[in-house]
Structure 1
Amino acid sequence: MSKTHVTTKVNGDTVEFLADPRASLLDCLRDNLGLTGTKEGCGTGDCGACSVTLDGTLVCSCLVLGVEAEGREIGTIEGMAEDKELHPLQRKFIEHAALQCGFCTPGFLVAAKALLDQNQNPTEEEVRYWLAGNLCRCTGYDKIIRAVMDAAAELRGEAA
């Protein structure tokens, strides 16, 4: 089967790659572009480990074909830090010990950023609802929720 040429933006940079028409966006990110921060947990869209944004919308990259990225914009965990400065969410995850093994962390961070990009003043219930598609087996969810709420307050300019 012939490969398809794909031109897309990933974390603000235009990239090109050849994709097998049946390859998932997750596989293209990891195998074609070397962006291994996005993880495969289940391959069925149930765990959230492979969360990325596609044109600003949170998606499970294991459920999107790589060829569907043509002409679109993708955001991954590798694009969260700016100028080597951690994003407030990344700092708050560390401060609140909201990670252990780290496998689910990139998906949680990308999902939380997608939420805060839309709503910098979410309620705890909204954060829990938004992150319900992400599964963690090590840390539990309370520390993660507290980290997201604290990052939201910082982004609003409120002292922690």
Structure 2
Amino acid sequence: MENELTAGRCVRTAIITLSMMGFGFFGIPANAGEFSVLLNGRAIHLDEQAGINYNENNWGAGFQYDMAPIEETLVPFVTFSGFKDSNKNMSYYGGGGLLHRVKFEWGKTPMHFDAGAIVFLMKREGFQENHLFPGILPAFSLGTPRVAVNMTFIPKIDPKMVPLLFFQLKITLGDIQK
């Protein structure tokens, strides 16, 4: 129980620190952007090992805060989320990144495609002795101004792991104005 409380404090401290760094680094006021809820849902394992059944229903939730775009095409963001991982253990991460946004229309529906990267701190049971560890991954998003699908590719970084695609549903609740 004490380890869980300590881990929780570490994760909260990391999230606050990363958020403050992100707002300060990009020089953007903390109250100008869009707040979204993330619903984690799916992992697709690309190189499954015989006899191992991975959990591909990575249920969980989190948030993403997209800051005001820089020059209309670069979207800095911070995020935090928790989900059941491939081994059915809870995993938590907090981080931030930068996405390059391309806007287009599908029929009359405004759409966007984002591509960039996320830098994060993560805690996973059964990996790195349950300590926080840093990472960087590619990040992609496709959707409308209110609903999008986020995706990342996680390469094989440990002999016991397999590469996978991880998906989230992003529901934007609204703009946060000054």
**What TM bracket, shorter-length normalisation?**
under 0.3
TM-score, normalisation: structure 1: 0.26
The structure richer in helix per residue is 1
* Structure with greater strand percent: 2
